[in-house]
Amino acid sequence: MRQFGKFQLLKKIASGGMAEIYIAKQRGLEGFEKLVVIKTILPHLASNEEFVQMFLDEARLAARLNHPNIVQIFDLGRVGNSYFIAMEFIQGENLRNVARTCRKQGKLIPTEHTVKIISQACEGLHYAHTKTDPSGRPLNIVHRDISPQNILVSFDGMAKIVDFGIAKAATQYQETRAGVLKGKYSYMSPEQIAGKKLDGRSDMFSLGIVMWELLTGRRLYKRDSELQILKDITEGPVPPIRKYNQQVPAELEAIVLKCLEKEPERRFANMLELHLALEQFLKNHDLTSSTVHIAAFMRSLFPDKLESFRKIEQAQEAGHRLEAFLFDDLEPSDIYAGGTGTTPARTSQTSLPSLQAQQQPPPPIPTRPSLPATPAARPGRPIALVLVLALVVAAGAAVAVWLFLRGEGSTGRQDTGTETSAGAGKIKVTSLPPDAAVLIDGKEACKTPCTVDKLKLNEPYTLQVQLDGYKPWSTRFTLDSPETRP
C-alpha cells in the first residue's frame, strides 16, 4: 500500500506496456472511505508530450460521459510525473471471465442474458456515440476497443462499458510491445483495420463479434497469425451461429450477422436500432431477462467473489481499515484489465514485428499545448507502424505487403495480387501513411501505394520500406512457390 495523491493504492490488479491498474481507496471526512480503480500511465509514456496530450484530450471527453451502462470516470490528474484516471469500482466481472467460468461448468451464458447484456451495452454506446458538447456539436466519440474484457457485468445485473477514450490515444501512439496488439486484432472492424475514419458502426461490428462468441462458445477470429486474422475480418465469411449452436433462433442469428457486415452501410444505422432489435427479439420469443435476473445469475456463478465483496462492504460500514482486506480472493483478476495495453500479471505475451518510430529524447511534461485533430507524421513522432507481410508467389500471383497505422484519418486500401507474365511476378505495397519509399535491392522503385513488377522467380530480393520519422523495415523474399507465408 502506498500513498498516491489523495488516494491510497491497495493492490495492483493489472499492468502492461502502457498503464498499471490499482484498486485504491479515497478517504473523506469522519473516516469515510471509498473504493476506486486507478489507472496510471507508465513513466516512459508520461514523459512523452504528444501522447500525454492525446491521452488527456480523450480522457476529458470520456469524463463527460454519465450513463448507467458506462463506467464513470471520477477524476483525471497528475501526481508527480504520473498521470492517472480514477474510475468507478465495479463489483462484478468482465464478460470474458463470465463466459470462461460458464464454459468450465459445461454451459454457455443463457441466451436471454446474453441478449440483455448486449442490449444494455448498446444503450451505453448509443449515449456515447450521440453525445454533444454544450453548444450541441457532436463529440464523435467512438470506443474503438469493444471486446469481452471491456464489458463489465456487475453483481447488480448491470452491463458497463469500460475504457472509453483510452483506445484512441493508444492507437495514435502505439508502441508495438509484446502481447499488446495480438488479442485486439480479433475485435477490430474492417474499417478500423483499413485506417479509415470511424463512427459508431465500427463499435457495432466489434460488439457483433462479442455476441457471436457468447452464443457459440467459440472465438470468431482466432487464427495462427495476425495476417490471417486481418484477412478473415476484411474478406472472410462469417460462419452461421446455428452451425455451432442450433438452439439460437434464426432471428437472433440474423441480428448478429447484420452487425458483422463488412460494409458499415449494411449494418444497423446506430446502436439504438440494434438495441431495439434485441429487445424485440426477447419479446417475440417470450424470453425474460432483466437486471434482477442477471444479478441472480452472476451471484450464483461467482459465489466466492461475491462473498469477498460483501466483506469489503462490511468493513466500510464498520469503519474498519480497508487495507486489512487485501482482496486475496479477488486476485489475480482482469476485471479492469481489458483496456489497451494492460494485462493481468499472470498473462504471457508474444511479440509482433513492427516498424517503429525513431527514438528521440523524451520531451518535458506539457502544460497544455494545442495539437491538430489528426497530426501528420513527422520525424520523431512516436507512432509505430505495424507491419504484416504476406508472400503470395509464383507466376500468376504476387507479393502483398500491408502496412497499417493504428489510428485514423487516412483511407486504407488492401491490394491483392493480379496476374503476371510467365516466369515473372510483382509486388503491391500499400502503406498508411502513404508516400513511403519502396526499395528493391537498395534501389528506390516507387512510393506507396505502388506496384513493382518484372520481378524474376526463384531469385532472392531485399525489400525495404522507408518513411521519414520511422526506422526502415526490410526483409528478404523469393518468388518461388504458390503459397502464403507470414
**SS3 call for 140:** coil
DSSP 179-196: TTSHHHHTT--HHHHTT-
- Report the half-sphere exposure of 361 (CA within 13 A, side-chain side): 1
Instruction: Report which of residues 466 and 407 the model is more confident about.
Output: 466
Give the Cα separation of 442 and 49 in Å (integer): 35
The last residue of a domain, from among 273, 298, 318: 318
Q: 67 and 110 in one domain?
A: no
Which of 92-106, 207-221, 425-439 comes out lowest in average pLDDT?
425-439
* Strand pairing report for 19-27 and 73-79: unpaired
Task: Label each residue of 56-68 as H, E or C.
Answer: HHHHHHHHCCCCC
Residue 382: asked if its preceding bond is cis (omega within 30°), the reply is: no
- Looking at the fold, whether 157 and 171 belong to one and the same domain comes out as yes
Q: What is the mean pLDDT of residues 161-190?
A: 64
Better-predicted residue by pLDDT, 206 or 374: 206
Clarify whether residues 313 and 437 are in a common domain.
no
Of 57-71, 116-130, 462-476, minimum mean pLDDT range: 462-476
* In contact, 200 and 270? CB cutoff 8 Å: yes
pLDDT at 334: 52
- For residue 451, being part of any structural domain is answered with yes
Is the same domain home to 133 and 195?
yes
Most confident listed range (197-206, 307-316, 349-358): 197-206
The CATH code of the domain that includes 279 is: 1.10.510.10
Rg of the Cα trace of the chain? 24
- Average pLDDT over every residue of 363-391: 35
Q: Are residues 424 and 296 in the same domain?
A: no
pLDDT given for residue 470 in this prediction: 66
pLDDT over 90 (residue 376)? no
Whether the per-residue pLDDT at 56 is higher than 70: the answer is yes
pLDDT of 113 higher than 50: yes
Does any domain span residue 265? yes
Identify the pLDDT of residue 453. 83
| Count of domains observed in the chain | 3
310: CB partners within 8 A, 6+ apart: none
Closest of 420, 415, 414 to residue 393, by C-alpha: 420
**Shared domain check, 106 and 205:** yes
Residue after which a domain boundary falls, among 44, 61, 89: 89
What pLDDT, on a 0 to 100 scale, did the predictor assign at position 481? 47
At residue 323, what are phi and psi to the nearest 5 degrees? -70, -15
- Give CA–CA dist 373/265, Å, rounded: 25
Mean pLDDT for the stretch of residues 163-172: 65
Residues 214 and 280 in one domain: yes
Phi, psi of 447 (to 5 degrees): -120, 140
Q: Is 340 part of a structural domain of the chain?
A: no
Residue type, 93: E
List 40's β-bridge partners, or say none. Answer: 20, 84
**Percent of the chain beyond pLDDT 70?**
69
Whether residue 246 is found in the same domain as residue 299: yes
Same domain? For 83 and 140 the reply is no
Does the structure show a pLDDT above 50 at 358? no
Listed residues 67, 89, 111: the one ending a domain: 89
Which residues are catalytic, by number? 145
In a domain, 325, yes or no: no
Task: Report the range of poorest mean pLDDT among 61-75, 224-238, 262-276, 341-355.
Answer: 341-355
The listed range with the strongest mean pLDDT (229-243, 309-323, 345-359, 424-438) is 229-243
> DSSP class of residue 289?
-
Report yes or no on 368 lying in a domain. no
Please compute the mean of the pLDDT values over residues 347-351 and round it to a whole number: 30
Q: What confidence tens digit (pLDDT) does each residue in 195-249 have?
A: 889 999 999 999 999 999 999 999 999 888 888 898 899 999 999 999 999 999 9
Q: Identify the top-confidence range among 385-399, 416-430, 453-467.
A: 453-467
Average pLDDT for residues 318-329, to the nearest whole number? 47
Residue 478 predicted with pLDDT over 90: no
Confidence band for 315, pLDDT divided at 50, 70 and 90 = low
372 domain residue, yes or no = no
Residue, of 170 and 466, whose pLDDT is higher: 466
The DSSP output letter for 156 is T
CA distance 390 to 229: 12
- Beta bridge partner(s), residue 477: 461
Shared domain check, 465 and 401: yes
Q: Taking each helix axis from N to C terminus, what angle separates 111-129 and 200-216, rounded to the nearest 10 degrees?
A: 170
What's the pLDDT band for 388 if we cut at 50, 70, 90? very low
Residue 341, domain member (yes or no): no
443-464: pLDDT as tens digits: 999 987 788 888 888 888 888 8
Taken in order 191, 408, 143, 227, is the CA torsion positive or negative? positive
Single pTM value for the model = 0.70
Which range (225-229, 385-389, 467-471) has the least confidence?
Answer: 385-389
Q: Kindly report, residue by residue over 18-43, the tens digit of the pLDDT.
A: 788 999 988 876 667 789 999 998 88
Calculate mean pLDDT across residues 290-308: 94
CA pair distance 432, 93, nearest whole angstrom: 37
Higher pLDDT among residues 320 and 438, named by residue: 438
Contact 337, 143 (CB under 8 A): no
The predicted model gives 120-133 an average pLDDT of 97
Residue 329 falls within a domain, yes or no?
no
Computed over every residue of the chain, the mean pLDDT equals: 77
Chain centroid, CA 480 distance in Å: 37
Supply the pLDDT for residue 173: 54
CATH number at residue 51: 3.30.200.20
Decide which of 164 and 367 is more confident: 164
Q: How far apart are CA 220 and CA 232, in angstroms?
A: 10
Say whether both 71 and 103 belong to one domain. no
Cα 391 vs. chain centroid, distance in angstroms? 28
Q: Do both 164 and 249 map to the same domain? A: yes
- The answer to whether the CB of 29 falls within 8 A of the CB of 6 is no
**Is residue 260 over pLDDT 60?**
yes
> Mean of the pLDDT values across residues 331-344?
50
Question: What is the residue range of 27's domain?
Answer: 1-89
Supply the pLDDT for residue 455. Answer: 86
The highest-confidence range among 4-13, 42-51, 147-156, 375-384, by mean pLDDT, is 147-156
Q: Which of 311, 251, 302, 308 is nearest to 277 (CA)?
A: 251
